[in-house]
Amino acid sequence: MRIAFTTKGKDWDSQMDPRFGRTDYIFLYDDESEETLIEDNTAIQNAAHGAGPQTAKKLFDLSPDILITGNGPGGNAAEVLKKSELKIYIGAGNMTVKEAYSAFKEGRLDAN
């Protein structure tokens, strides 16, 4: 299973980014191979509008099974994410990546 996190940094102790569209990084973890992959999303700061759909497209290309984030994607981004078959869990905005992962494992996050 491949899990994507919206994060402010590049490692397990980084803070989660509660924003979806304007998240700094997408942190991707494959819990079978235990490999991680960091997608730099900081260039999204330059998008005046439509940051949400643009990040959603990146996620589509990465095609994880699960997305863990803070507030959840806005309308347009949600529209794009419908095209990917992934499950979205929210409410992890104030955690570190590590904490968010265990919260997810223990079923403490809300499905969006």
The residue (of 9 and 36) whose beta carbon lies closer to other proteins is 9
- Shortest approach of other proteins to residue 19 CB, angstroms? 4
Which residues of the chain form contacts with other proteins (CB under 8 A)? Answer: 17-22, 45-54, 56-57, 60, 70-72, 74-76, 78-80, 83-84, 90-91, 93-94, 108, 110, 112
The residue (of 36 and 39) whose beta carbon lies closer to other proteins is 39
Q: How far apart are the first and last CA of the chain?
A: 18
- How far apart are the C-alpha atoms of 87 and 57, rounded to whole Å? 15
- Shortest approach of other proteins to residue 77 CB, angstroms? 10
- How far apart are the C-alpha atoms of 89 and 112, rounded to whole Å? 6
The angle at the Cα of 80, spanning 93 to 62, to the nearest 5 degrees, equals 70
Residue 90 three-state SS? strand
The residue (of 2 and 36) whose beta carbon lies closer to other proteins is 2
The residue (of 38 and 78) whose beta carbon lies closer to other proteins is 78
Question: How many Cβ atoms are within 10 Å of 2's Cβ, its own excluded?
Answer: 17
- Shortest approach of other proteins to residue 51 CB, angstroms? 6
